A and B are shown apart, each in its own frame.
Chain A
């Protein structure tokens, strides 16, 4: 379970999140929708604890993230996977090394076991052949898939966060990434947050949906609840996409 309670974030004068409340039950996928610059990535940063809200609390499995010290945060994040908007692969390492990174850092597995697991993960995202390539030699979609494989390497990640995993990809790749996210959720029973602009993808992966506008949550709920919302912004958003 992830819960945000009255979370407020400001960059200088600009209030990016204004007393946001949000709850994602364990094992569910929450999709966050909103315009560009509305603060979607900022929510993820609060959950990761890389950004401290001005006020309010972020709870993950009843643990207040704001109360953890630096080391506690590092330990907490070991059970967390995050796919960044731009992938954020380590460009000095190969694809295989990127995926192996978590295992090298947090386990004492022998090299052949690590390689076995890396190959399994890369096969899962359909990129076993690229194991020795550098991230800079891959296409955007391939990089995104490696990032997903890397995020899954944490032994049964309890939380998965995806920041616009399908933006800028062709419909086929988008669909395969959505299927992948579904499979990850089923496999690990993880609690997920997916940020996206794309309604089709949102419906593919989401159990719950939240709209952010002007630093506030304007609607949250299941697909039906969202579709029956009277809010004009949401109606426009939904109609534009279909």
Chain B
């Protein structure tokens, strides 16, 4: 039965040809993505849409508060617990607040918030835009003389870049407070000691780190979702495929960007905390 999809249909092709096709495909994707992003930023300046932007901020940010808070709460609890176990034998418990706060502000807070958000926001955006693409609503926009990048994407990207830092900062605070509970009741570190450690972690490099990362991650998780949503083809199955792809790529790029920003900021400020 020749018309039946063979599970081996992809693996027979020549490996060299496949690598070549993969590379050219990758380059074209990067180019398309850059064009989309460039157009959205241009629209943010030449044709700013206050109404749509506020709506998107509400949808994207306010709705995500509970999950971001929960994620940070338990991450803070767990991290304080683990660090206190590791540090107690060295008599370093007095550093607990500083270590917990630093790791939350620098890494855990922004990364966790973004990963949790990408499950919610990226998936939501891709399936919504994917549905619109497969039911010709995107074409209908074009036909009415409206650029979908202007109307749909630019406000979403702006919302991501504004809301993620806000959510992330509040989430950081919650994580640090959760750590305080563990310190006080589990690790026998007095509250004021923990708290002074936390305050000593609020340095300029840490704060810049804690704001820059969610800003970039917010951009990534929305832009990737929009990108794969807009180019969805192939009906309901296509929407599912695009959504999976977008969530996976958003998560990977967030982690890649996390490392690169960490590296960059350490290079800028040296090994200071």
**Residues of A that sit less than 8 Å from B by CB:** 48, 50, 70, 73-78, 80-82, 84-86, 88-92, 101-102, 105-106, 154
Contact of B136 among A70, A76, A86 (CB under 8 A): A86
A70 with B147: in contact, given A84-B136, A86-B136, A88-B135 (CB under 8 Å)?
Answer: yes
Does any Cβ of A come within 8 Å of B7's Cβ? no
Q: Are B146 and A84 in contact (CB under 8 A)?
A: no
Does any Cβ of A come within 8 Å of B142's Cβ? yes
Q: Are B142 and A48 in contact (CB under 8 A)?
A: yes
CB distance from A39 to the nearest CB of B (A): 17
Does any Cβ of A come within 8 Å of B78's Cβ? no
Q: Are B147 and A84 in contact (CB under 8 A)?
A: no
CB distance from B34 to the nearest CB of A (A): 16
Majority SS of interface residues in chain A? mixed
Q: Indicate the size class of the contact surface on chain B.
A: 10 to 19
Does any Cβ of A come within 8 Å of B66's Cβ? no
Having A85-B136, A106-B145, A154-B144, one finds 15 other A-B pairs with CB under 8 Å, namely: A48-B139, A50-B142, A50-B143, A74-B147, A77-B142, A77-B145, A78-B145, A80-B143, A80-B145, A84-B136, A86-B136, A92-B128, A102-B145, A105-B145, A105-B146
Q: Are A82 and B143 in contact (CB under 8 A)?
A: yes
CB distance from A83 to the nearest CB of B (A): 10
CB distance from B160 to the nearest CB of A (A): 19
Majority SS of interface residues in chain B? helix
Q: Which residue of B lies closest to A51 (CB)?
A: B139
Q: Which residue of B lies closest to A102 (CB)?
A: B144
Contact of A101 among B128, B144, B147 (CB under 8 A): B144
CB distance from A105 to the nearest CB of B (A): 5
A-B contact pairs, 27 of them (CB 8 A): A48-B143, A74-B142, A74-B146, A74-B147, A75-B145, A77-B142, A77-B143, A77-B144, A77-B145, A82-B143, A84-B136, A84-B139, A84-B140, A86-B136, A88-B135, A88-B137, A88-B139, A89-B140, A90-B132, A91-B137, A92-B128, A101-B144, A102-B144, A102-B145, A105-B145, A105-B146, A106-B145
> Which B residues lie within 8 Å of A106 (CB)?
145
Contact of B140 among A70, A76, A88, A105 (CB under 8 A): A88
Separation of A154 and B146 alpha carbons in the complex (Å): 12
> Which A residues lie within 8 Å of B132 (CB)?
90
Over the window 129-161 of chain B, the binary record of Cβ atoms lying under 8 Å from chain A Cβ atoms (1 yes, 0 no) is: 001100111011011111100010000000000
